[in-house]
Amino acid sequence: MSYNSSIKILIFTLLLGLTACAQIVEKPLMSFSDNLTAAVLDQNDPELVREGAPTFLLLMDGLIRQSPDNPALRGAAAQLYSLYNAAFVDDPERSKKLAASAFTHGSKAYCLMAKIDNCDLNKIDFDVFEKRIAKSKIKDIDALSALSTSWLVWIRSNADDWSAIAQLPKAELALNRIVQLDGDYGEGTAKMYLGIVNSIRPPALGGKPELAKKYFEEAISISKGKNLAVKVEYANSYARTLYERELHDQLLNEVLLAETDAPGFTMSNTMAKEEAKRLLASADDYF
């Protein structure tokens, strides 16, 4: 199993998580975090974000040293580490280190909210984890988002390890619970993730392409088409997997013709358009 290169445009989902988890300790810091996140979401220069993100990572680590049992703070750190890793890190070994930090924070955020002492979620039995997830309430949804996001990025960074890949059903379970609690969560990005998860595996290994298609279509509808990342993932994860060239090209051309600037989506749309051009350029070789 491998994650497609367009995983980088999931920066939007990760930043939404930062917004959701920005309930950080004191009001001035909350305001700073909200304003910083908004500025990044509306930024059309990915390189500027790449250069600035490490500073915020160090800031988050410092805040966690002060308040290690703050689930919102842990969740925000998980999302930011995941964002930086997925969007800007290509070195495999560095990616694994950053993904491990992201997952540590994400799992801690969930365990603090769920009041779970044993937080080694990779080793917990699936049945036990399933029962715990089923108890999650709407108040836990941001922690579930931090957990599932950081888990998927960790699995991607360790895609050469089958024991890591074996954790994918647990991450999917957390995503499903998010959708059960709030079908529109993240303006459809939780459903985009589920579309990807159900596309990247063949049916023999649990993949469900028709369900994936349903999730992608719903995600497009929820965001009213403003989140161009959904269409790029729909083309890359679903249309390419099923060799549906017409759908593939239609989705990507729609992305290129769409407006880039949209409140909360400009950054991801900028990256989505770059990826759409790359996918169209390679389509003749792929199909």
Residue 82: CATH number of its domain:
1.25.40.920
Domain extent at residue 265? 5-286
* pLDDT recorded at residue 21: 46
Domain count, the chain: 1
* Torsion, CA 46, CA 48, CA 51, CA 54, rounded to 10: -80
* pLDDT recorded at residue 205: 72
* pLDDT recorded at residue 40: 60
Q: Which token pair is 6?
A: 């367009």
pTM of full prediction above 0.85: no
Residues of the chain with confidence (pLDDT) below 70: 1-46, 49
* pLDDT recorded at residue 44: 65
CA-nearest of 4, 3, 14 to 267 is 14
Question: In sequence order, which residues have a C-beta less than 8 Å from that of residue 18 and are 6 or more positions away?
Answer: 33, 37, 76, 79, 80, 83
